[in-house]
Structure 1
Amino acid sequence: MDEFVVYILFSKEHNKVYIGYTSNLIERFKSHNHLSKKGYTIKFRPWEVVHVEFFTTKSEALKREKILKAGKGREFIKEIIAQL
């Protein structure tokens, strides 16, 4: 059975947040921090995973990702980062 993960990355060095979803968090995290040669996340390395949520369907994960990228989600993320 597939499992989908919504994750929040934070770059302390650049004070940046990245929100995404994947079915393989370990490989995706490696990609963000080491493997990728292009894209948004390479500019703000290193990243740390500050929050993860697990879902059984892709549609649930996408819905949650969208919420986190909106107003209430941004407030939730600010609270997480304030506790670091």
Structure 2
Amino acid sequence: MKRYFVYALWSPSHSRLYIGLTSNLKIRLEQHNSGKTRSNRYYRPWKVLKVEETTDLNSARQLELKWKGGSFRERFRELAKHKFGVNGRND
């Protein structure tokens, strides 16, 4: 059975949030942190903020869109503050 992961990453050095969807979380995180993802290579290193797994691609896509919504983005910023310290940084 295929698995899908919706994930939220946090860049402590730039206070940036990235939300994505993948079927291979380990490889995708390596791509983000090695600079192979053009859109966010300048914000490395990325820390895992939250991950949810599902076996249904449509559910995963809906969850990704939900997380990208304004209210969820604020919740993730607050979570980063608690998880990584003041302003969501871990320095």
Distance 1:47 1:83, change over 3 A: same
How many percent of aligned residue pairs carry the same amino acid? 36
Q: 1:56: Cα distance to partner?
A: 1.1
Q: After superposition, give the CA deviation of every residue in 1:5-44 in whole Å (9 maximum; x if it has no partner).
A: 00000000011010001000000000000150x5111111
| Aligned counterpart, 2:16 | 16
| Aligned counterpart, 2:49 | 50
| Aligned counterpart, 2:89 | none
| SS in structure 2 of the partner of residue 2 of structure 1 | coil
* Alignment root-mean-square deviation, CA: 1.2
| Aligned counterpart, 2:75 | 76
Q: 1:78: Cα distance to partner?
A: 2.1
**C-alpha separation in 2, matches of 1:52 and 1:43:** 22
Q: Which runs of 5+ in 2 are unaligned?
A: 84-91
Q: Which runs of 5+ in 1 are unaligned?
A: none
| Aligned counterpart, 2:27 | 27
The question of whether the paired residues in 1 share the 8 Å contact of 2:7 and 2:48 is answered with: yes
User: What TM-score comes out, normalization by structure 1 length?
Assistant: 0.91
Q: Flag as ranges the 4+ runs of structure 1 deviating above 2 A.
A: none
**C-alpha separation in 1, matches of 2:82 and 2:74:** 13
User: What TM-score comes out, normalization by structure 2 length?
Assistant: 0.84
Number of residue pairs aligned between Structure 1 and Structure 2: 83
